[in-house]
Amino acid sequence: MFQFENDYWWYRGLHELVLHYVENIRNTNAKTHNQQELKILDAGCGTGRMMELLAPYGKVEGIDYSEDAVNLCKNRGLENVRRDDLNTWAAPAEIYDVIISNDVIYNSGVEDDMAVVGKFHWALKPNGLLIMNLPAFKALQRKHDIAVFGIRRYRKKRTLRDLKKIGFSSVHTSYRLLPLFFIMLLQKYLLERFSKKKAESDLKLLPPAMNSFLLRLHRLENKIITRGIPLPLGSSLFLVCKKNSGATKDTKKHEDVF
């Protein structure tokens, strides 16, 4: 993952989409609260590329379950990162403006995905943003999911209903990577059905020209999404949700929500 994050089309497109919404909230806070810097948590920070890109927007912290991932973050020069388990994470109350968690809560290592989201809610300031990218549609679950320990996929309607119960409202939610949806269906129901290959990740280096082409497509899709136009299908579900003002006091402790 470390060698892919800087240049691989999938990561670059996702990171650029996340940064669009982070910049929006920074600009809003600068106008309404004269707050120039954000306090940001990358929950499940992996090897740290997202943290690097977030650095200009304020104070960024990262947590990850993997000791190897934390060490790779430190190899990037990132110091404000530590090993922690989201299942047992003692979430501090109302200290973050933004929490980002890309492709984390779907993993088999997360015992209760919405309990973890409840912790994110507890840790966000009122009106703070939660930004998540999640794998979408159970029908797309393939050998890749097995290889990366993915046990959950998400649908927009149900996920938004669960988030609303916790105390979030949707700012913008859309499926992503529409072309990949059909490619993955084809792969699962035609190719994998007759293949005896063991489960392995789809993440592989591509020729530069192909990587560049896919990044251009990804950026075109990002333009559509950031204009407020949700895509009806995609291999991923992208959510930008706001913590409802005053919600933490009503729920007392995140543990009580569940």
List, for residues 190-200, the tens digit of each pLDDT value. Answer: 665 655 666 55
The per-residue pLDDT for 249 is 43
Q: Which parts of the chain have pLDDT scores under 70?
A: 1-3, 142-145, 148-149, 188-203, 246-258
- DSSP helix/strand/coil, 125: strand
The per-residue pLDDT for 28 is 87
The per-residue pLDDT for 250 is 42
Count Cα atoms within 13 angstroms, Cβ side, for 137.
19
Domain 2-246 CATH assignment equals 3.40.50.150: yes
The per-residue pLDDT for 33 is 74
The per-residue pLDDT for 258 is 24
The per-residue pLDDT for 226 is 96
* Residues 170, 228 contacting (CB under 8 angstroms): no
Whole-model pTM: value is 0.88
